[in-house]
């Protein structure tokens, strides 16, 4: 397992109508101490003084509470998600980033060619562990995608400031994508994305390893290993992010960005097909984090 002993982990949640912050990666059923935090306090603290100020701000509020993880009154939140409509947070991602999808080895001397990129939605669209993931009733074939999610906050000048990283499942309809790879990819990505609330306050990870399990009717129907992180990518993370944030619309002051760095091949490529009601569990073993969600086919074929 990757040595994470020096990397603090911060999380936030809503409890009985108030926002709180805590530390670590507590397991379900474990008791944690939560510190009250005002809306935007942690983001402002980070922009003013970096990670140390962020950690300090998470413990300054008076009136701590002790809560059991899994308490139905506690809803964990995506890292640093704004308290308003969610329009101040954006979830986007890169595609085709892994080495396994290229025939050659990366050459730093070559001109950087950015990978494909797309917008998944607002930060408020992100689902948390245990919440269902909605996919269209017209879905052709789903693919789970274990990914590293980088978290950025833009300062008052619009400069993106890297805060830390977490993990996500970028669920998508690869079957629909493959019917028209040049035109229908944005439709294929209109599946909900889940994310862990645990914000690792360290540099983007080089190596992340784990296992995917898809359960059907309570039984494991498919299992497979995965790897992500910088060492698994064809492109350098720095190059991808620098290119993305070179666009002015991504540099709006105060914007929180969750940037998905891409995933390798998984269950679909092994011939397995995810069905309505299946549970997808991503065990990020190297980092002691588990992300589990049930897939729900929802909606109808078209508007009335």
For residue 156, pLDDT over 80 is answered with yes
Average pLDDT, the chain: 93
Dihedral sign, Cα of residue 89, residue 214, residue 189, residue 233: positive
For residue 138, pLDDT over 90 is answered with yes
Q: pLDDT grade, residue 105 (50/70/90)?
A: confident
Residue 248 lies in a domain: yes
For residue 84, pLDDT over 70 is answered with no
DSSP the chain: ----TT--EEEEEEETTEEEEEES-PPTT-EEEEEE--TTHHHHHHHHHHHHHHHHHTT--S--EEEETT-TTEEE--TT--SSSSTTEEEEEE-S-BGGG-SS---TTSPP-PPPEEEEEEGGGPBPTTS-EEEETT---EE--EEEEEEEEE-TT--EEEEEEEEEE--EEHHHHHHSTTTSHHHHT-S--EE---EE-SSPPS-EEEEEEEEETTEEEEEEEEEESGGGBSS-HHHHHHHHTTSGGGG-TT-EEEEE------GGGGT----TT-EEEEEEGGGTEEEEEEEEEES-SS--
Residue 41 lies in a domain: no
CA 132 to chain centre: 15
Residue 37 lies in a domain: no
Average pLDDT on 79-105 reads: 87
Average pLDDT on 17-35 reads: 95
Please tell me the predicted confidence (pLDDT) of residue 300. 60
For residue 25, pLDDT over 90 is answered with yes
CA dist 224 to 32, 146, 211, 300, Å?
32, 11, 6, 32
Read off the CATH number of the domain in which 290 is found: 3.90.850.10
Q: Are strands 289-298 and 279-284 parallel, antiparallel or unpaired?
A: antiparallel
Residue 183 lies in a domain: yes
For residue 267, pLDDT over 70 is answered with yes
pTM here is 0.95
Dihedral sign, Cα of residue 256, residue 261, residue 265, residue 266: negative
Please tell me the predicted confidence (pLDDT) of residue 213. 98
Please tell me the predicted confidence (pLDDT) of residue 116. 93
pLDDT in tens, 118-132: 999 999 999 999 999
CA dist 168 to 9, 198, 246, Å?
16, 11, 24
For residue 5, pLDDT over 80 is answered with no
For residue 301, pLDDT over 80 is answered with no
- Other CB atoms within a 10 A radius of the CB of residue 115 amount to 20
Residue 286 lies in a domain: yes
The answer for residues whose C-beta is within 8 angstroms of residue 218's C-beta and 6 or more apart is none
Number of domains in the chain: 1
pLDDT in tens, 201-225: 999 999 999 999 999 999 999 999 9
Cα gap 212→202, rounded to integer Å: 24
For residue 40, pLDDT over 90 is answered with no
For residue 1, pLDDT over 80 is answered with no
Range of the domain at 138: 83-298
Residue 290 lies in a domain: yes
Token pair, residue 41, equals: 């306090």
39 or 26, which is more confident? 26
Residue 143 lies in a domain: yes
Cα gap 241→249, rounded to integer Å: 14
Residue 65 lies in a domain: no
């Amino acid at each position: 397992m990757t040595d994470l002993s020096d990397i603090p982990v911060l999380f936030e949640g809503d409890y009985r109508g108030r926002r709180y912050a805590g530390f670590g990666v507590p397991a379900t059923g474990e008791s944690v101490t939560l510190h009250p935090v005002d809306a935007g306090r942690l983001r402002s603290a980070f922009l003013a003084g970096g990670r140390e100020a962020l950690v300090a701000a998470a413990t300054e509020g008076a009136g701590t509470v002790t809560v059991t993880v899994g308490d139905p009154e506690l809803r964990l939140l995506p890292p640093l998600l704004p308290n308003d409509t969610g329009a101040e947070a954006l979830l986007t991602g890169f595609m085709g980033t892994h080495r396994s999808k290229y025939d050659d080895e990366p050459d730093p001397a070559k001109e950087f060619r950015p990978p494909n990129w797309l917008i998944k939605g607002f930060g408020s669209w992100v689902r948390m562990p245990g919440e269902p993931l909605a996919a269209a009733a017209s879905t052709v074939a789903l693919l789970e995608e274990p990914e590293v999610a980088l978290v950025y906050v833009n300062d008052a000048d619009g400069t993106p400031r890297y805060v830390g990283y977490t993990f996500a499942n970028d669920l998508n309809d690869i079957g629909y994508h493959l019917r028209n790879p040049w035109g229908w990819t944005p439709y294929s990505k209109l599946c909900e994305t889940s994310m862990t609330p645990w914000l690792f306050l360290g540099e983007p990870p080089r190596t992340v390893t784990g296992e995917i399990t898809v359960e059907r009717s309570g039984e494991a129907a498919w299992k497979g290993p995965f790897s992500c992180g910088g060492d698994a990518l064809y492109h350098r993370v720095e190059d991808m992010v620098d290119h993305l944030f070179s666009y002015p619309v991504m540099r709006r002051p105060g914007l929180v960005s969750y940037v998905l760095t891409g995933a390798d091949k998984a269950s679909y490529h092994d011939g397995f097909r995810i069905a309505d009601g299946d549970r997808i569990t991503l065990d990020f073993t190297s980092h002691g984090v588990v992300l589990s969600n049930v897939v729900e086919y929802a909606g109808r074929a078209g508007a009335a």
